[in-house]
Amino acid sequence: MNNKLRLASYLCTLFLLVGCGESRTSIDTRGYYGAFNMIELEVNDMDQYVNSKNYKVQYNPVEDQLGSAIYAFMRNEDVKGTPLEAEAKKLADQEQQILKIWKTRDRSVEKIRTAVKEMQDQVEHLKTML
């Protein structure tokens, strides 16, 4: 009985340490789904932020975590060399475009909102590819 109990506790510990793989709901950017989930979360937050009635164009709409999540997704082994990498590159380009609009002298809330909407659409397209 003691040997079976020891074996069961050893196996349970082993399974806890090894895990079951990456969860589809993870936001750990070291993983494939986690990086994408973080991108989706940050883009949704940005969309809500710039579309609120209190948004002022003087505040940067792009959080640092968005760029980090995009590049973590692009560096993932499951993404490299696939069409997902090209689509993620488009996201990175759109992020830079939003920052470029925000830094210009003739920036407007509407230009930023339009760029963010395009990014939101790109994320939805990318979601269909997963």
Report the domain count for the chain: 1
Question: What is the pLDDT, as a whole number, of residue 23?
Answer: 64
pLDDT tens for the chain, residues 1 to 130: 566 767 667 666 655 555 555 566 676 777 888 899 999 999 999 999 999 998 888 888 898 899 999 999 999 998 999 999 999 999 999 999 999 999 998 888 999 999 999 999 999 999 998 8
Both tokens assigned to 115 = 């760029």
What range defines the domain where residue 115 resides?
Answer: 32-51+58-129
Q: Is residue 14 part of a domain?
A: no
Q: Is residue 37 part of a domain?
A: yes
